[in-house]
Amino acid sequence: MTHKGSCHCGRIAFEVEGEPASVMACNCSICRRKGSLMWFVPIEHLHLATPEHDASTYMFNKHVIRHRFCPVCGIHTHGEGTAPDGRAMAAINVRCLEDIDIDALPVTHYDGRSH
């Protein structure tokens, strides 16, 4: 299944292939503040409908995750990084998807503050 998503103003639009079985909530310094619920997919399952350069990037701490967000409305749509096995991954903020029942998804809590 393909899901459509975007930031609030629509400048960053995307499609993602797959079906989330669960999402992750992290308590690290940035995730705690932005409140994202993340669904991890291989990067090739994420298809940006807008040019890559339209999204802003924020990196901090170890500089291994590219936190992508809209420079106009500020909404964090996804992150890009590498899984422990070396695969390129995207962390999709399911709150930006149009057709997902967020309340029906099990949430795994990750202690990013301690890692």
The pLDDT value given to residue 45: 98
Q: Is the dihedral of CA 9, 10, 11, 16 positive or negative?
A: positive
CB 32 within 8 A of CB 109: no
CA–CA gap between residue 97 and residue 89 (Å, rounded): 18
Phi-psi bin for 9: left (phi > 0), alpha (psi -120 to 50), beta? Answer: alpha
H-type alpha helices, 5-54: 29-34
Give the CATH number for residue 27: 2.170.150.70
CB 16 within 8 A of CB 109: no
Q: What residue numbers bound the domain in which 16 lies?
A: 2-114
Query: What are 60-110's pLDDT values in tens digits?
Result: 877 889 999 999 999 999 999 999 999 999 999 999 999 999 999 999 999
Mean pLDDT, range 15-34, rounded to an integer = 94
Query: What are 37-67's pLDDT values in tens digits?
Result: 999 999 999 999 999 899 999 988 778 899 9
How many domains does the structure of the chain reveal? 1
| Bigger pLDDT: 48 vs 28 | 48
Mean pLDDT, range 15-22, rounded to an integer = 97
